[in-house]
Structure 1
Amino acid sequence: MAQSEQVVFLHGVGAGPASWRRVLADLPPGYRGTAPPILGLSDVPEPAVDPAPLTFARAAEDVIAGLDRDGIDRAHVCGLSLGAMVALRVAVDHPDRVASLVLSGGQVHPPRALMALQSAILRVLPERFAVPEGMTRDRFLSALDAASHADFRGDLAHVTVPTLVLCGSRDRPNLPAARALAAGIPGARLRVLIGGGHELNTDMPAEFAAELAAFWSSLDAERTVTAR
């Protein structure tokens, strides 16, 4: 029996691994997925073991460490929102470990003025309204700060793995970044899901899974033609 293809799903800020539940349940035959927590995005009860603030490099290394623990040489990596930025870092730093890349609602160089405004608002709002469950205000602000200082513009041309860029048509703040990702990554494909918002994995899980299946099927077909 052929070995299953492994997929790693990376969540956005405040969403958590459970946000991939319906997509995981709808993977095509021959594919199995995991959705690990992203290092630096959650708080734990014991401060002594609380992870350091998020950095994309550390989060990417933690994804690779997870593959190592599971004995997986290469995996398809799919990320949404901030998870897409971590996925991109994984593909840039460890191309030999990535079979393909899917980036949904990701960013290339977030507008710092807008991010600073968002952080300023979050600092004055009551924490129960402003902060996702499972995170403190400091953890949330730290993640936003890491995102605001991210700049992948110089990395896109160095992505060597097959890439699919997804974005919802209603996710207007991220549509320009989706186009920039598709234009900057060699051979990348762009798909805009009509009527979709930012969190496509929870808003349109069946359509999201169908896009993944079509992408991976096309890669299988290309490999078959190449092998002939």
Structure 2
Amino acid sequence: MDTSRLPILFVHPINLRGSAWAEIVPAFADRFAIVPDMRGFGDSPPAEQYDIARWAKDCIDAVDRAGVDRFHAIGGSLGGAISVYLAAAEPKRVISVVAVGSQLYSRDPDNAAVLSTLEHHTVTEMFELVLPKYALAPNASAEVVAKAMALRNPNGKDDIRRVWRAACAADIRALVASVSCPVTVVTGEFDLTCPPAAGAEMAAMLRAPHVLLPGIGHLPMLEDPPALIAAIKAHLKRVES
């Protein structure tokens, strides 16, 4: 099967938007890229209910609208879990997966703490408190923090609560046995949201290599685009050679 130069679906992290991949996509200009905003994020409208199946459907709808059949799925954070979900649900279409800053299920007690900040802070204030602490490495520059803030979910408190609870409820452990395509799991050294141990567990369950990126946190597409580009290119070379 010829898998050279197939399109790439980029699935954004939780509470960011598709343009989080803006510094990554140009490195793959020889391929067609599909970069959607899933429901409840970016320019897509909010919904009354969220779950990983609905977000996966948003991704497939975007791929179908683009007229694309087979594709690589590259997802950050929750987007990595969604990419694995797609590989299990659409095995004839998903050629490979790169899961960046991802895990099989959420076990982070700080998610409750994150939600509690909305009780006494505005949405903007909540993200100002949460993003640098949980999503970025301790030495993240002011420029990186500003990029993350500019990309954050624009919706109101109730919608963000629904999104966060649905993301925390996402659990793909039962699906990994159905994933037959090549997978690479990429984790930042200082990722507190999906820590290296969770990335290693995900890689082991998927029989996949685990790539640890030094010096960065949960969002390598913002913190160190060249390092993530190199990891993705190495994955594509392995899959397509």
Q: What range describes the TM-score normalised by the shorter chain of this pair? A: 0.7 to 0.9
| Alignment correspondent of 1:163 | 183
| Alignment correspondent of 1:76 | 72
Give the letter aligned to residue 146 of structure 1. Answer: A
| SS of the residue 1:92 aligns to | helix
1:40 and 2:61 correspond: no
Give the letter aligned to residue 34 of structure 1. Answer: I
Q: How much identity, in percent, do the aligned residues show? A: 25
Residue 133 and residue 65 in structure 1: after superposition, are their counterparts in 2 closer, same or farther (change >3 A)? closer
1:23 and 2:24 correspond: yes
| Alignment correspondent of 1:226 | none
- List 4+ stretches of structure 1 deviating above 4 A: none
Aligned partners of 2:11 and 2:59 also within 8 Å:
no
Aligned partners of 2:185 and 2:211 also within 8 Å:
yes
Structure 1 position 211, deviation (Å): 1.0
| Alignment correspondent of 1:10 | 11
Structure 1 position 141, deviation (Å): 1.0
Count, aligned residues: 214
Structure 2 counterparts to residues 125-164 of structure 1, below 5 A: 125-131=121-127, 132-164=152-184
Give the letter aligned to residue 92 of structure 2. Answer: D
Structure 2 counterparts to residues 74-113 of structure 1, below 5 A: 74-111=70-107, 113=109
| SS of the residue 1:86 aligns to | helix
Q: Which structure: larger Rg? A: 1
1:218 and 2:238 correspond: yes
CA RMSD of aligned residues (A): 2.1
Residue 172 and residue 51 in structure 1: after superposition, are their counterparts in 2 closer, same or farther (change >3 A)? closer
Choose the corresponding residue for 1:182, options 180, 183, 203.
Answer: 203
The 1-side partners of 2:57 and 2:234 are apart by 29
| TM-score calculated relative to the size of structure 1 | 0.85
Q: Which has the higher contact order (CA 8 A, sep 6+)?
A: 2
Structure 1 position 61, deviation (Å): 1.3
The 2-side partners of 1:38 and 1:197 are apart by 23
Residue 41 and residue 133 in structure 1: after superposition, are their counterparts in 2 closer, same or farther (change >3 A)? closer
The 1-side partners of 2:48 and 2:85 are apart by 18
Aligned partners of 1:166 and 1:192 also within 8 Å:
yes
Give the letter aligned to residue 39 of structure 2. Answer: L
Residue 126 and residue 153 in structure 1: after superposition, are their counterparts in 2 closer, same or farther (change >3 A)? same
Structure 1 position 70, deviation (Å): 1.8
Give the letter aligned to residue 117 of structure 1. Answer: A
| TM-score calculated relative to the size of structure 2 | 0.81
* Unpaired runs of at least 5, structure 1: 222-228
1:122 and 2:118 correspond: yes
Structure 1 position 173, deviation (Å): 4.0
The 1-side partners of 2:13 and 2:100 are apart by 10
